[in-house]
Amino acid sequence: MTEPAAGLISIIVPVYRTERVLPALLDSMLAQTWMQWEAVLVIDGSPDRSIDVARAYAASDARFRVIDAPNRGIGAARNLGLDAAKGSLIAFADSDDILQPTALESLIAAMRAGDTEMSTGIGEDFFSGRRRRRMRYWTMQGPHFASAGVYDILDTPSLLEDHVVWAKLFRRELIDRAGVRFPEGVQCEDIHPMLRLQLAAGRIAVVPESVYLHRRHLETVSADYMRARTLRDWISQARATVATAVATDDRTIIEHYVGGHVLDQWWSRAAEITAIERDLAIGVESLAADILAAIGPSPRRLDPLRTAALAFFAAGAPSRRWVLGASTDSGPLTSPDRRNGTRVAVAALEAASQLDTDDAVEARMAAELLVNRVLAPVAFGLARPQDVAARLVESARDQIDRIGSAAFTAVAVVSAPATLPVGEHAASARAVLDRMPLRVARLRRVMLDDHHVLFEGIIAGHESPDPSEAIALVVRGRSSRFTQLVSLDAARGHDGVLHWRATLPVTRRMVGRELTLALRLTRRHRAPAELAVHAQSTPGPLSSVSLRVSFSGSSPVVLRVRRA
């Protein structure tokens, strides 16, 4: 291969069955404000007339080069394009997408200004036809996309979440130095090479503007990530990325990429485990084992439900205990809502009954299912009708007795909605939750001034808060539709315990109601969880010049505020 031409951008485009939309991409290249480019169009054995479209453009503009190859998949096509590319700079595009007019100019300017080997812009999903709308691609949501600059991977590990090779520009030296080739014969072929390129680059220049339009339609790989082949290929590539992240021996990268990005994607597949055939379920379990080995048994930034599920999958329990391959949209781990709450609760109740409660890992999973997928949907009005809700609560009680209290001590209830239902069975489910030995926050001190109630307490065994976590005090009417969220301060003390302090301003709507307290833990990409606030004993009545507070409970704390 000849020496790469300085300043020339080689845009590598695998082409397969895109005859109708390929002209839109090629026209967008002709409209580029940066003129020094070549398009290497690799026709991957396409059965339509895509090659005729490509040759027509090549006949009118020599910057288009056409390679006619037998069908071997997108990875092989990208590798052929790399071998044929003449430029010192490399970009990738999918043949059904579109470049924004200033894409190449913006990316090369950012790269040169920051003296980096890689630059990235923002890609937007778009829907053609009647659904003409755009939204930012999901891997490009991080705060670093808000302003131009050069970001170091170790300082901004969220950059690693952006695992697509399009909407970017790479120096050829970077690709060669990293030894990057795309895996052949698989879908999801760019996620592992992308991670390797990011780690090799170390520093990335960001263009905070749209440079790329990503067409969404039913034939794209991302349209259905649960398709058997897509899922199988994703598992293999995800496991490769975990191994690469672990090989860096850098805890920032491992915890963020493996314990954040990979685990988030793993959870989306794990939540649908009962709809997956057994061989694929075993693959999801193997990935769970890889993740757990990488991030350790007490993962940071991980809610209790996912902690339990990760250990449960890593132990290979779903493929041993549950019926797999069922055609259902509501498995036992599916997040419940008003449409599927009853189906999720019924599935979770059945799934919990199949677990071996003498096994600590399976007992913990059963506890999470009963609390957060059976009782919580009933308590929050998501599981109906009333006769079904009644049976769910009664059956959950029976299983709770079978499991024993030890399995529940690390369980935290998913966050309640702002307005709680007032029905009998919802109240019954909440009463069961109140009596259970779940994970709680402790109240150590209550004080008053003229217009506020001040609370101080601890969360034993909780890590120091990080930027991805928010902790707030939730004040809720026990038997009325009242909820108030109060910010709080939290810091780790010398005793190794997380101490929290909140100041509750007393409002007119609050006066005279029975109120309960909870701490809401909210983390990025995680379901919010709540820890009920308990006290060692029921606090005595308090009074100030303007306020009086009386308590009627300690587990959980129940209080009533009155004007003096």
pLDDT at residue 213 tops 80: yes
- According to the model, what pLDDT value does residue 303 have? 74
Which one has a higher pLDDT value, 137 or 524?
137
In this predicted model, which residue has the larger pLDDT, 420 or 504? 504
The confidence score (pLDDT) of residue 529 equals: 86
Domains of the chain: 5-217 (3.90.550.10), 224-301 (no CATH), 328-436 (no CATH), 440-563 (2.60.40)
Please report, rounded to a whole number, the percentage of residues in the chain having pLDDT higher than 70: 94
Q: Per-residue pLDDT for 345 more than 80?
A: yes
Query: How far is 149 from 491, CA to CA, in rounded Å?
Result: 32
Q: Is the pLDDT of residue 467 over 80?
A: no
pLDDT of residue 410: 87
pLDDT of residue 466: 55
Of 84-93, 264-273, 319-328, highest mean pLDDT:
84-93
Place 260 in a pLDDT band, splitting at 50, 70 and 90. Answer: confident
Instruction: Show the tokens assigned to 130.
Output: 């009647």
- More reliable by pLDDT, 460 or 240: 240
Token output for 205: 């220049």
Asked which of 132-136, 300-304, 401-405, 559-563 is least confident by mean pLDDT, the reply is: 300-304
The angle subtended at Cα 350 by Cα 347 and Cα 351, nearest 5°, is: 80
Average pLDDT (268-278) is 92
End-to-end Cα spacing for the chain = 87
Residue 299: what pLDDT? 59
The residues, ordered by sequence, that sit 6+ positions from 7 with a Cβ below 8 Å of its Cβ are 36, 88, 89, 108
Mean of pLDDT over the chain: 91
The more confident residue out of 534 and 421 is: 534
pTM: 0.88
More confident residue, 434 or 501: 501
> Is 219 exposed, middle or buried, given 0-12, 13-18 or 19+ CB atoms closer than 10 A?
exposed
99-125 pLDDT per residue, tens: 999 999 999 999 999 999 999 999 999
Phi, psi (rounded to 5 degrees) for 231:
-65, -45
DSSP assignment, residue 56?
Answer: H
| Separation CA 468–CA 83 (nearest Å) | 42
Average pLDDT over residues 229-248: 96
Closest to 65 in 3D by CA, of 49, 47, 86, 92:
86
Residue 221 above 50 pLDDT?
no
Q: What is the dihedral of CA 280, 44, 76, 59, to 10 degrees?
A: -150
Q: Is the dihedral of CA 66, 70, 71, 72 positive or negative?
A: negative
385-404, pLDDT tens digit by residue? 888 999 999 999 999 999 98
**pLDDT at position 497, please?**
84
Q: What are the angstrom distances between the C-alpha of 527 and each of 177, 334, 354?
A: 40, 12, 25
* Best-predicted range by mean pLDDT (30-44, 250-264, 436-450): 30-44
Pairwise CA distance, residues 549 & 541, whole Å: 6
pLDDT at 43 over 60: yes
Average pLDDT over residues 60-84: 97
For position 507, what pLDDT does the model report? 93
